[in-house]
């Protein structure tokens, strides 16, 4: 994990937020490559969950909503973690992360831990100029509620009838007691949520299983190693009382299994709760049958920062290689799926001091730019390859003297390190097929 954290900083994937002021716990920034990586992860989700389907519509709700949203959802009352303080070293712990309350795991003193007390995880803010309780508001701890409270607006305007879904990607905030494990547990993060509404016609569990399969396919399509991914089925005791089924999608991180996503059958709980508090009707009225009912909800809620971190960790590899002279060295490589890789094609001239090579390399890179995430670079050839391996670029194109004679280039494959000679005018098709 230390190697990955160092690489993430060195190559511009992830930086600590406000680093020059000493950082701030639970907040991170994405650097030039990390921003593209995360964008690609979100785009991959959006493509499969929204664009390629005709039964899911897009949504984008505000971060701050009426405080009653969080009363109805149960977050004001029950979105708590149990907090324990050490009176000696002043460290804070989540009670469910401690094996006993006898001894502080940090300073080792006995009898210094306080009794667990409730700590609400919602971040608060004030709206307007008056700092009184009337202006209290929360930064949303999840994106889903924005969809529930708009259910009627959405189905009426989009002319949708269950079964159909609503998808949204957006920021969420939680005042986590113990943020950590790099970007795994953040206080500001992004969620990608799908809320799929189905009629109560006996097919709800089948739809739930279809979504579980679709989500398995997604992780597999974007190259996450199957042996490091599991779909853990929650027992009735582990599920909220209203949920008929639930699965946690977990990845084997260097520190153990951690949740990436939760998929749940939530019954009619969420719409019922908002109808009760708001007094407004959020049932679905079927024009054809004149029937009125509250649809059942199947939810998939995935963390985009955790998924991005998963892609980074899962892609990381370090191997010993032997060069032509028999010298052994270490090669660090990020084996990103080509659809996720921030740079798909690196283009460089063999020598820096030959204007013809530079000009040709630049023009080839410009030609590829509209179809691929291409990057021009120049310098020492060994270092160029090392850098592109470390940022996970699947293909590197070298422009050499032969290119000037016969318009062919060398394409190096990141994973096999095999080099192919490809005609310049066949290059786009060659890359298209492989990325």
DSSP per residue, 50-66: IIT-SSEEE----SB--
Our CB check for ligand ATP shows the closer of 45 and 164 to be 45
Q: In what order do the strands lie in the sheet with 245-253?
A: 56-58, 164-173, 188-198, 296-303, 256-267, 245-253, 229-233
Name the residue number minimizing CB distance to ligand ATP: 303
Question: Is position 143 an interface residue for ligand ATP (rule: CB under 6 A)?
Answer: no
Our CB check for ligand ATP shows the closer of 303 and 346 to be 303
User: Where does 206-344 show beta strands of DSSP type E?
Assistant: 229-233, 245-253, 256-267, 284-286, 291-293, 296-303, 316-322, 328-334
Distance in Å, CB of 227 to ligand ATP, minimum:
20
Half-sphere exposure of 336 (CA within 13 A, CB side): 30
The counts of H helices and E strands in the chain are 13, 23
Our CB check for ligand ATP shows the closer of 250 and 400 to be 250
Phi-psi bin for 326: left (phi > 0), alpha (psi -120 to 50), beta?
Answer: left
**Of 199-207, 228-236, 298-306, 408-416, which part binds ligand ATP (CB under 6 A)?**
298-306
Torsions phi, psi of 385, nearest 5?
-65, -40
Distance in Å, CB of 144 to ligand ATP, minimum:
9
Question: Is position 176 an interface residue for ligand ATP (rule: CB under 6 A)?
Answer: yes
Question: Is position 145 an interface residue for ligand ATP (rule: CB under 6 A)?
Answer: no
Distance in Å, CB of 240 to ligand ATP, minimum:
10
Count of residues touching ligand ATP (by CB under 6 A): 15
Question: Is position 174 an interface residue for ligand ATP (rule: CB under 6 A)?
Answer: yes
Q: How many Å is the maximal CA-CA distance in the chain?
A: 80
Q: Draw the binding track, 304-333, toward ligand ATP (x: CB under 6 A; -: no contact).
A: -xx---------------------------
Distance in Å, CB of 120 to ligand ATP, minimum:
13
Question: Is position 75 an interface residue for ligand ATP (rule: CB under 6 A)?
Answer: no
* Residue ranges in 181-220 that form contacts with ligand ATP under rule CB under 6 A: 185-186, 189, 191
**Of 47-55, 301-309, 346-354, 355-363, which part binds ligand ATP (CB under 6 A)?**
301-309
Question: Is position 170 an interface residue for ligand ATP (rule: CB under 6 A)?
Answer: no
Instruction: Sort strands 345-349 and 374-376 into parallel, antiparallel or unpaired.
Output: parallel
Let me know: does 1 contact 254? Beta carbons within 8 Å: yes
Q: In what order do the strands lie in the sheet with 395-399?
A: 374-376, 345-349, 395-399, 408-413, 419-423
Torsions phi, psi of 270, nearest 5?
-70, -45
Question: Is position 27 an interface residue for ligand ATP (rule: CB under 6 A)?
Answer: no
**Of 47-55, 203-211, 303-311, 425-433, which part binds ligand ATP (CB under 6 A)?**
303-311
Q: Draw the binding track, 243-272, toward ligand ATP (x: CB under 6 A; -: no contact).
A: ----------------xxxx----------
Q: Which residues, in sequence order, are CB contacts of 198 under 8 Å at separation 6+?
A: 162, 163, 204, 207, 295, 296, 297, 298
Our CB check for ligand ATP shows the closer of 303 and 394 to be 303
351-318-220-211 Cα dihedral, nearest 10 degrees: -120
Positions that interact with ligand ATP (CB under 6 A): 174, 176, 185-186, 189, 191, 259-262, 301-303, 305-306
């Amino acid at each position: 994990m230390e190697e990955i954290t160092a690489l993430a900083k060195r190559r511009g994937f992830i930086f600590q937020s406000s680093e020059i002021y000493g950082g701030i716990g639970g907040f991170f920034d994405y650097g030039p490559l990390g921003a593209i990586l995360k964008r690609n992860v979100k785009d991959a989700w959006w493509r499969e969950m929204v664009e390629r389907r005709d039964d899911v519509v897009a949504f984008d709700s505000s971060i701050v909503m009426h405080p009653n949203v969080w009363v109805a959802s149960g977050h004001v009352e029950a979105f708590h973690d149990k907090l324990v303080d050490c009176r000696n070293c002043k460290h804070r712990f989540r009670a469910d992360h401690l094996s006993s309350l006898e001894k502080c795991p940090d300073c080792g003193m006995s009898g210094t831990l306080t009794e667990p007390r409730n700590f609400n995880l919602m971040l608060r803010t004030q709206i307007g100029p008056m700092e009184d309780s009337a202006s209290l508001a929360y930064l949303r701890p999840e994106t889903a509620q924005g969809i529930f409270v708009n259910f009627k607006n959405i189905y009426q305007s989009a002319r949708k009838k269950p079964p159909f879904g609503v998808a949204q990607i957006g920021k969420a905030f939680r005042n986590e007691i113990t943020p950590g494990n790099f970007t795994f547990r953040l206080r500001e993060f992004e969620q990608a949520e799908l809320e799929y509404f189905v009629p109560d016609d006996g097919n709800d569990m089948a739809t739930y299983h279809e979504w579980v399969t679709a989500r398995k396919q997604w992780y597999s399509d974007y190259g996450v190693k199957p042996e490091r991914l599991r779909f853990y089925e929650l027992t009735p005791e582990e599920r909220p009382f209203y949920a008929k089924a639930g699965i946690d999608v977990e990845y084997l991180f260097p520190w153990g299994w951690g949740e990436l996503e939760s998929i749940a059958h939530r019954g009619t709980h969420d719409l019922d709760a908002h109808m009760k508090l708001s007094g407004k009707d959020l049932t679905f009225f079927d024009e054809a049958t004149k029937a009125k009912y509250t649809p059942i909800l199947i939810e998939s809620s995935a963390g985009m920062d955790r998924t991005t971190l998963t892609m980074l960790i899962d892609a990381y590899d370090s191997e010993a290689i032997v060069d032509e002279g028999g010298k052994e060295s270490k090669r660090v490589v990020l084996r990103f799926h080509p659809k996720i890789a921030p740079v798909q094609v690196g283009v460089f001239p063999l020598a820096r001091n030959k204007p013809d090579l530079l000009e040709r390399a630049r023009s080839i890179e410009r030609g590829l730019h509209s179809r691929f995430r291409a990057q021009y670079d120049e310098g020492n050839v060994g270092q160029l390859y090392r850098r592109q391996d470390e940022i996970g670029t699947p293909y590197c194109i070298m422009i050499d003297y032969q290119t000037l004679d016969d318009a062919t280039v060398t394409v190096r494959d990141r994973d096999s390190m095999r080099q192919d000679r490809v005609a310049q005018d066949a290059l786009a098709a060659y890359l298209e097929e492989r990325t």
